[in-house]
């Protein structure tokens, strides 16, 4: 019995969510890409049976994306979703032929991460206000992200009981429900303690919102949108213009760790929870560029020294 597209799609998304433990955002993104592919196929022909899907359908969709989606990264996201879906269907023997190997991804220009420059990082951490409970929360969140290099989703899923009373080590849950240990700097631990001591609510969440309407609905845990709003507010208030999103703190932690450890890529991989070492190539390039700049400045210093004779 032939499998139809909607059933194949639902089976895969269910596997992503329940067995692969992908985040709701990832499942939502894959659903959107598969929906767009399904709409395209519906316009090409009436049947949506998987055994009628052909290589020509895939090539036609790639041509369609090339003509309608300007950004290569956006086209790549669409094609990765379809390729992963088809590969899974073949592995589960839900389709007879693995069509995924005919999908080619557009070449992407490697974009280097943009961490905070050292002087701006120092200014940011020193200038964070600490008067009101809201300011204490903002300071604690910024220190936590820069200290641990956590993804914002990892930070916001933590409970206040996860913060160690003794020591600086805590456990976070990352992608695929994989757990790893991260460490708080002394400043981060002080900022978190100060913030938690100022709270008067009973919410278990580590980072909470102070929105009265949300609190009335019982929605105390800070959301990703709320965290992005905090970063924008902090960015404006202290003039840390390179601090454009919570993820900049992760880039900053990765780059700084590489510098202070002498380029220990595997250590940074463990701290950040990256599955692939290739993901860290951008950070190593930044560190190498900083080293080269330092040596060039050192060279100019030596050349400017007075010479005898």
Query: Which residues are catalytic, by number?
Result: 151, 175, 247, 250, 274, 283
d(CA 18, CA 27): 10
Tally DSSP H helices, then E strands, for the chain: 13, 2
For residues 255 and 113, the answer to whether their CB atoms sit within 8 Å is yes
For residues 224 and 152, the answer to whether their CB atoms sit within 8 Å is yes
d(CA 96, CA 82): 16
Handedness of CA 104, 80, 244, 242 (dihedral sign): negative
d(CA 70, CA 72): 6
For residues 66 and 59, the answer to whether their CB atoms sit within 8 Å is no
């Amino acid at each position: 019995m032939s499998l139809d597209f909607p059933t194949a799609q639902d089976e895969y998304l269910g596997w992503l969510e329940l067995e692969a433990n992908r985040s709701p955002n990832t499942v939502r993104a894959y659903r959107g890409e598969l929906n767009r592919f399904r709409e395209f196929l519906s316009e090409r022909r009436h049947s949506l049976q998987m055994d009628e899907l052909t290589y020509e359908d895939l090539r036609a969709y790639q041509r369609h994306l090339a003509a309608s989606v300007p950004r290569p990264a956006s086209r790549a996201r669409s094609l990765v979703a379809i390729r992963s879906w088809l590969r899974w269907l073949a592995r589960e023997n839900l389709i007879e032929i693995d069509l995924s190997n005919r999908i080619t991804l557009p070449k992407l220009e490697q974009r280097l991460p943009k961490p905070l420059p050292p002087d701006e990082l120092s200014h940011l951490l020193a200038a964070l206000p600490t008067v009101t409970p809201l300011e204490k929360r903002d300071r604690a969140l910024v220190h936590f992200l820069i200290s641990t290099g956590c993804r914002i989703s990892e930070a916001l899923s933590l409970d206040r009981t996860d913060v160690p009373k003794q020591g600086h080590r805590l456990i976070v849950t990352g992608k695929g429900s994989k757990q790893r240990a991260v460490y708080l700097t002394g400043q981060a631990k002080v900022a978190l303690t100060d913030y938690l001591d100022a709270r008067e609510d009973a919410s278990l969440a580590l980072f909470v919102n102070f929105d009265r309407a949300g609190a009335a609905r019982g929605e105390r845990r800070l959301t990703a949108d709320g965290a992005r709003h905090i970063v924008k507010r902090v960015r404006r208030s202290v003039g840390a213009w390179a601090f454009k999103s919570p993820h900049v703190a992760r880039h900053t932690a990765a780059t700084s760790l590489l510098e202070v450890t002498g380029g220990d890529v595997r250590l940074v991989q463990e701290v950040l929870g990256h599955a692939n070492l290739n993901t860290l190539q951008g950070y190593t390039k930044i560190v190498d560029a900083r080293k080269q700049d330092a040596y060039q400045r050192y060279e100019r210093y030596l050349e400017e020294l007075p010479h005898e004779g």
